[in-house]
């Protein structure tokens, strides 16, 4: 169902399977609240799905925060938008009776998920970051001790340089996250390998935060 009553326009699909961690689905540039619903259903069948639409428009395309140009982010806006998204997650958890969600973000959505982890570390139970890059050059000290995170990068990604993805991995590990970083022989788009690895990761050990 689509519901605009909370602070973000979003879509919510209730769980049909007991005990499954809810997913927070975060679309890429130009996507919306419907984009990743099929992905969520494939990698976590039966899980509750919460999918907000980014509030920033770039040439009419929704995003989760502003950028100055390709690969260069407005870091003040990143911080403000991460706090705004954290407040929405708290609202949605109350309204829908959800545990802390596992974020599944693609591209811009993965970047805001990484920003959430680094600036609002208690909000997410874990994250699957698909083609993420560093959202904050110097992130605040965060405690992600034991938090499970899967970072899937593309070896031929024209948008996310390999050293940038490695730097993000370093930031997450420095915060104590239990990070699994894989670089796949693909570009920026998603592949079947992404779906398989994400599903296997979600089906793995219980997440650190309930």
**Active-site residue list:** 107, 157, 188
| Cα–Cα dist 191/208, whole Å | 27
- Write the CA distances from 88 to 5, 81, 82, 208, integer angstroms: 11, 11, 10, 22
Q: Are the CB atoms for 154 and 129 separated by under 8 Å? A: no
Contacts of 128 (CB under 8 A, 6+ apart): 43, 102, 103, 104, 105, 149, 150, 152, 198, 201, 202
Within the chain, residue ranges assigned H as helices are: 37-43, 75-96, 108-119, 162-174, 192-202
- Residue 173 phi, psi (nearest 5): -65, -40
- Which token pair is 137? 């050059």
In 3D, which of 168, 118, 123, 166 has the Cα closest to residue 143?
118
């Amino acid at each position: 169902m689509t519901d605009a009553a909370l602070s973000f326009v979003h879509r919510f699909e209730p769980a049909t399977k007991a005990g499954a961690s809810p997913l927070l689905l975060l679309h890429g540039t130009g996507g919306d609240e419907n984009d990743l619903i099929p992905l969520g259903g494939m990698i976590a069948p039966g899980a509750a799905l919460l999918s907000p639409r980014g509030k920033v428009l770039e040439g009419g395309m929704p995003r989760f925060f502003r950028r100055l140009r390709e690969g260069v982010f407005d870091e003040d806006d990143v911080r403000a938008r991460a706090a705004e998204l954290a407040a929405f997650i708290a609202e949605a958890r109350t309204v829908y009776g959800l545990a802390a969600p596992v974020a599944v973000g693609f591209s811009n959505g993965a970047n805001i998920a990484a920003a959430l982890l680094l600036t609002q570390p208690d909000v997410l139970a874990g994250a699957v970051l698909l083609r993420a890059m560093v959202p904050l050059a110097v992130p605040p000290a965060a405690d992600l001790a034991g938090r499970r995170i899967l970072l899937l990068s593309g070896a031929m990604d024209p948008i996310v340089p390999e050293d940038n993805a490695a730097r993000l991995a370093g930031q997450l590990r420095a915060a104590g996250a239990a990070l699994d970083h894989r670089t796949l022989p693909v570009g920026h788009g998603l592949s079947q390998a992404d779906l398989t690895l994400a599903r296997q990761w979600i089906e793995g050990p219980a997440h650190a935060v309930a």
